[in-house]
Amino acid sequence: MSAIDTMRTAQPSVASPARAAQDAGAASLRTALQNSSITIPQLLRQRAAMHGDRLALREKEYGIWNPHSWRHYYETARAVALGLMSLGIKPGDRVAIAGENTPEWFYADLGTQMIGAVAVGIYPTNPWPELQYIVRHSGSRVVITGDQEQTDKVFDAISHNEGLPALEAIVCIDMKGLRNYRQSQLMSFEKLCERGRAFARDNPDVEATLDRLISQGAPDDVCILVYTSGTTGPPKGAMLTHRNLVYAAWTYAEMVGISDKPFEAVSYLPLCHVAERCYGAVTQLVLGGTVSFAESIDTVALNIREIAPTFFVGVPRIYEKLQQGFLFRLGESGRLRQWFTRKCLAWGRTLSDRRQDGSGQWFDALAYALLYLAMFRNMQRHLGFAYSRHRLCAGASISPETLRFFDIIGRPVSQGYGLTESGGVAFIQIEGHHRIGGCGLPMPLTEWKLDTDGEILLKNPGVFKGYFLDEKASTASLEIGGWLRTGDIVEVLDNGEIAVIDRKKAIIITAGGKNIAPSEIENALKDSEFIKEAIVVGEAKKYLGAIVQVDYDNVGRWARDKALAYTNYKSLSQLPEVHELVERIVNETNKRFARVENIRRFAILEKELDHDDGELTATQKVRRALIEKKFARELAIIYPAEG
C-alpha cells in the first residue's frame, strides 16, 4: 500500500461511548447542512472536533506529500484569526488574499471568517492595477500575499494612483526574496500566527471572544466577496453568505450522489473563483474529505494521476489539455497500438451515440465492459480518473467533442449551469440526464422561469445578497421576491435539461436583423486542436467574421512535421500554410451551421491573447467590450470596405 493510500484509508480507533457521541454529532451536522443553518467556521470547528487527527489537507514539497490534520487546520486558522484581531480587524472588515492555492490560503480564508470579517480573493495572475482596484474598492485593511511577486504588486498599488488608503498590513506566506524589504506594513504569515498566539497569551479573554464570534456567526452573514471577471466593465464584488455556499455545496453533493462517499479533490483552480471555493474548500468542509494542492497549473495532470481524486472540477481548458495530452501520446506510439486504440474509441463512440439518443441496447453494458478491460481502464488510470465518481466542468462552455471523448471512455463530465451570483451551480447533469450540450436539471429548492426574450431567472438559497457598494447593479440583478436576473439566454431540451444559448449581451444582430449566438460557432471552431481561441464578430454587419488565435504548441508541431520554418508565434501565424490550415477548419465548421451563421472572412491574430494586455479576464474570457479598440487590424481584414 502506498503512502498516499495509507493516508487516505487510515482511521483512528474510537471507543464505543465516543462513537455514540460522534454519531449524534454527525446526525446534528447533517440536519444543519440540509437546512444550510451552519456557518463555514462552525463547520471547521465541528470537523476538527469529530475528526481530529484525520487527514484534511495535503501539499507537496520536494517530492513528498506532507499531510495536515483537521486539528492542525482548525488551530492554524484560529491563530490567523487571533493575529488579525491583534491588528484590529473586527466583524465586517475586509481581508484580501492574493496567491496560489496553498494550505495557508485556506487558513487565511477561515481565520478571516472566524472573526466575522469578509475574505476577498484576488487572482494571482491579476496585474497590480486590477489588484489595486479590488483592494481599494473592497476597503481591505489587510492583504495576505502568496509570495514576492504578489507582495510587489501590492507595493506597486500603494505607490500609484492615490495608493491603497485603507490598507494597514501586508502578510506574506512565502518570504523568499523579501529579506531586504524594510516596509513597516510587511510581516510573514508565520509572524502573524505567532502574533496571534502571543495576543491570546497576553489577553486571557481573547480565546473566549473568538469562540463567541464563531458561535454568533449567522448563516446569512456575508463571508466572502467574489469579484466578477469584468468582461464588459469593471469587476463587481458579489457578496456571498455562508448559507449561499453551504447550500450550493451540500445540495450539489446530494444531487450527484457523493454526499455519503469519500471525498478527495485536487485544488488548483484559483481559490478566488467561486467554483474552486465552493466545490473545493467548502465541499471538503461539508463532506469531511481531503484536499490535495497541485504543485502548479503545469503539473495538474501529473498530480491528478498521483492522487486519483474521487471528485474533480475543471474548466474547459483543463479537460481539453487532458484529452490533447492523451491524443499526443497516442500519436507517438506504435502503429498497432494506434490502430487498436482508435478502433476501441470508434466502438465506444457508437455506444455513446446510443446513450445520447436514448436508443441503448441491453448488450451495450457488456460491450462497454469489454472495452473497459481492453483499453478504457488504462486510459482512466492515465488521466487520473480511475477512482473519480463525479467530474464537473465549470467556468465556461466546453467543446462537445471534448465532452464526447470523456463520455466514450466511461468518465462523463457533467455540465452545470450557475454563476457567481448564484453561489455555484443551480442546474447539474445527473445520471439519465447527461445530454452533451445540456446543463442538467434544477437543484432542489431552485425555482426558475424564462423571460419573454429567453433569459433565465433563478431563485434559491444560493442567490447572493447583491454587489458590494453598488446599489444600482444590485437592483438591476435582483428583482423583488429574490429573483436573480442572470443575463443568459437558454432553451429547454426535450429531456427536461436546459441548454445555454449565449450571454444576452453577446448576441450579435447582423445588418439583416438576424440574431446570432456567437459562442456555439466559436466552440465549433475550437473543436479543432489547432485553434485555441475564436472571436466571432458581425454586429450590424452584412456577414460574420472570426478573429482566430492558433494553438502555438499544436500548430507549431504541425509546422515542424511539414518542415515549415518559424521562430515565434507571430512568424508562425503569418505562414501561408497556416492560413490555409485555418481556412480549411473554417470551411468545415461552416457546414455545421445555417448560411447566415457562416464565417465569410477571418483574420489570424499576430500575438497570443494576454491577461496582462487587458484582452482576457483572469478567467481567460475575452473582454468583448474592447474588441473594436484592440483588434482594429483584424477587423479591417474581415471588413475591408470599412477599413
495: domain CATH number is 3.40.50.12780
Tell me the mean pLDDT in the region 327-334: 86
pLDDT the model gives residue 642: 63
Lowest mean pLDDT among 15-29, 84-98, 110-124, 356-370: 15-29
Does 283 reside within a domain? no
Q: Give the number of domains in the chain.
A: 3
Give the residue from 439, 473, 503 where a domain finishes.
503
Tell me the mean pLDDT in the region 293-316: 91
Give the residue from 503, 518, 547 where a domain finishes.
503
Tell me the mean pLDDT in the region 321-343: 89
Confidence of residue 230 (pLDDT cuts 50, 70, 90): low
**In this model, does residue 552 exceed pLDDT 80?**
yes
Beta strand 311-314 pairing with 390-393: parallel
**In this model, does residue 8 exceed pLDDT 60?**
no
pLDDT the model gives residue 234: 80
Residue pLDDT, tens place only, 449-480:
999 999 999 999 999 999 999 999 999 999 98
Percent of the chain topping pLDDT 90: 73
**In this model, does residue 5 exceed pLDDT 50?**
no
pLDDT the model gives residue 283: 97
Measured in whole angstroms, how far is the alpha carbon of residue 72 from the centre of its chain? Answer: 26
Give the residue from 199, 217, 235 where a domain finishes.
217
pLDDT the model gives residue 519: 85
109, 305, 324, 459 from 271: Cα distances, Å: 10, 22, 26, 25
Residue pLDDT, tens place only, 141-163:
999 999 999 999 999 999 998 89
**In this model, does residue 620 exceed pLDDT 70?**
no
Does 285 reside within a domain? no
Determine contact, residues 410/380, Cβ cutoff 8 Å: yes
Residue pLDDT, tens place only, 340-394:
999 999 999 999 988 888 777 888 889 999 999 999 999 999 999 999 999 999 8
Distance CA 372, CA 379 (A): 9
**In this model, does residue 574 exceed pLDDT 90?**
yes
Higher pLDDT, 69 or 619: 69
Confidence of residue 333 (pLDDT cuts 50, 70, 90): confident
Tell me the mean pLDDT in the region 605-632: 76
* 570: CATH: 3.30.300.30
Which residue range forms the structural domain that includes residue 334? 311-386+389-503
pLDDT the model gives residue 3: 39
Tell me the mean pLDDT in the region 94-102: 97
Same domain, 627 and 578: yes
**In this model, does residue 17 exceed pLDDT 90?**
no
Cell matching residue 596: 447566415
Same domain, 498 and 512: no
Residue pLDDT, tens place only, 397-436:
788 888 999 999 999 999 999 999 999 899 999 988 989 8
pLDDT the model gives residue 11: 41
Confidence of residue 92 (pLDDT cuts 50, 70, 90): very high
| Residues sharing a CB contact under 8 Å with residue 36, sequence separation 6 or more, in sequence order | 219, 242, 243, 246, 247, 250, 461
pTM: 0.85
Please, what is the average pLDDT of the chain?
A: 90
| Residues sharing a CB contact under 8 Å with residue 19, sequence separation 6 or more, in sequence order | none
Does 147 reside within a domain? yes
Tell me the mean pLDDT in the region 438-446: 95
Same domain, 592 and 452: no
Same domain, 33 and 160: yes
Cell matching residue 18: 465516543
Does 350 reside within a domain? yes
Same domain, 457 and 320: yes
Determine contact, residues 544/516, Cβ cutoff 8 Å: yes
Integer-rounded Cα Rg, in Å, for the chain is 25
Does 247 reside within a domain? no
Does 298 reside within a domain? no
Of residues 508, 453, 451, the one with CA closest to residue 484: 451
Cell 463525479, located at residue: 390
Does 614 reside within a domain? yes
Tell me the mean pLDDT in the region 564-570: 95
Tell me the mean pLDDT in the region 493-515: 87
Same domain, 450 and 567: no
pLDDT the model gives residue 363: 86
pLDDT the model gives residue 507: 84
Helix, coil or strand: residue 511 = coil
Same domain, 322 and 465: yes
Determine contact, residues 315/460, Cβ cutoff 8 Å: no
Same domain, 394 and 517: no
Determine contact, residues 394/315, Cβ cutoff 8 Å: yes
Same domain, 553 and 615: yes
Determine contact, residues 633/640, Cβ cutoff 8 Å: no
Same domain, 94 and 207: yes
Of residues 237, 314, 307, 305, the one with CA closest to residue 279: 314
pLDDT the model gives residue 232: 60
Same domain, 530 and 623: yes
Percent of the chain topping pLDDT 70: 94
Does 82 reside within a domain? yes
Distance CA 217, CA 552 (A): 50
Same domain, 344 and 396: yes
Distance CA 66, CA 79 (A): 20
Confidence of residue 4 (pLDDT cuts 50, 70, 90): very low
